[in-house]
Amino acid sequence: MNTVSFQSVYQTSTNRGTFKLGERACTPDGREWTFVRAQAAVANSLVAIPDGVTAADLWSSSVDGQGRIVYLTRAASTMTVGQFEDAVGVVDDGTGVGQVFKIRTNDATTLTLYPESALTTALAVADSDLTLRTLNYVDPAAITSKLQSAQGIAQASFAAADYGWLLTRGAGRVLAGEVLVIGASFVTGDDTVGQVLKGTTAKGAFDEQALGYALVANAGADQGTLVMVNI
């Protein structure tokens, strides 16, 4: 795993620089981070989740000069150039169903896959359907839901369109909507976006995504506290 500086993880930028979206790295203290782009502002100490799920049908495919199926095209599409850079996807219905892939980039109508995840079965425009997940384009966690595929916790404030690092493993700060219990889990689902709540007794991973455990009990609701993150 690559190492990044403390300065890097505590600042954001409007430029991506040399890092790839979704890249994992650790700071010299052993904590782990993931590189993302904020689609909406994510304040310091808030949980960030993927921007959304995109489903679309009627895809065809074509090959590169080496015969690899790396171009997936939907003629009616109007994608933003680069919108699905480093996103992941699955053929979830029709011809080629079950194949998974990672996207290197896209233009308005075509996804270009990394050759290492080239499809092995060509798509058919009549029935091939895709679902795409842009895991590394993030927003603050929504209210209420305890299952949101959280990607990490911001330790610096992101403006919309900023690039930067989310904490995924190690000690850090999170805003909690209620007093956490030392040693017990915390989860998304507060009534304020991005904040966390205590984990629920007797609930498992199918019911809620545990994001780590509390190291210090915050003094009151809507306050930041020290936690051990494990996402």
Whether residues 153 and 198 share a domain: the answer is yes
Q: Which domain covers residue 158, as residue numbers?
A: 2-50+138-230
Asked if pLDDT for residue 78 goes beyond 90, the answer is: no
Residues 31 and 62 placed together within one structural domain of the fold? no
Pairing of strands 69-73, 110-113: antiparallel
pLDDT, mean over the chain: 96
Number of domain units in the chain: 2
Q: Which of 104, 106, 103, 99 is nearest to 122 (CA)?
A: 99
Q: Is the pLDDT score of 193 beyond 90?
A: yes
Q: What pLDDT is recorded for position 77? A: 86
Q: In the chain, what's the furthest Cα-to-Cα distance? A: 62
Residues 191 and 180 in one domain: yes
pLDDT digits (tens, 9 = 90+) for 102-129: 999 999 999 999 999 999 999 999 999 9
Number of H helices, E strands in the chain: 1, 18
Place of tokens 């609701």: 221
Same domain (yes/no): 60, 173: no
> Looking at residue 52, what is its pLDDT?
82
Q: What pLDDT score does 1 carry? A: 86
Please say whether the dihedral angle defined by the alpha carbons of residues 168, 171, 173 and 176, taken in this order, is positive or negative.
positive
Distance, in Å, from the CA atom of 44 to the CA atom of 173, rounded to the nearest integer, reads: 9
50-65: pLDDT as tens digits: 998 899 999 999 999 9
Among 45, 99, 51, residue whose Cα is nearest residue 72:
99
pLDDT higher than 90, residue 187: yes
User: What percent of the chain lies above the pLDDT cut of 90?
Assistant: 92
Q: Distance between alpha carbon 101 and the CA centroid of its chain, in Å?
A: 16
Quick one: 22 and 128 in the same domain? no
Both 172 and 224 in one domain: the answer is yes
Whether 64 and 98 map to the same domain: the answer is: yes
Q: Which of 103, 133, 163 marks a domain boundary?
A: 133
Domain end, chosen from 83, 114, 133, is at: 133
Q: Is the pLDDT of residue 91 over 90?
A: yes
Q: Do 62 and 35 fall into the same domain?
A: no
Q: Dihedral of CA 231/155/25/88: which sign?
A: positive
Residue-wise pLDDT for 26-53, tens only, equals 999 999 999 999 999 999 999 999 998 8
**Which residues, in sequence order, are bridge partners of residue 228?**
171, 213
Q: State percent of the chain over pLDDT 70.
A: 100
Same domain, 31 and 144: yes
Lowest mean per-residue pLDDT among 114-118, 137-141, 147-151, 200-204: 200-204
Amino acid, single-letter form, for residue 53: V
Boundary-marking domain end, from 82, 108, 133 = 133
127 with 158, same domain? Answer: no
Confidence of residue 137 (pLDDT cuts 50, 70, 90): very high
Does residue 123 sit in the same domain as residue 80? Answer: yes
Residue 4 binned pLDDT confidence (cut-offs 50, 70, 90): very high
Same structural domain, 43 and 93:
no
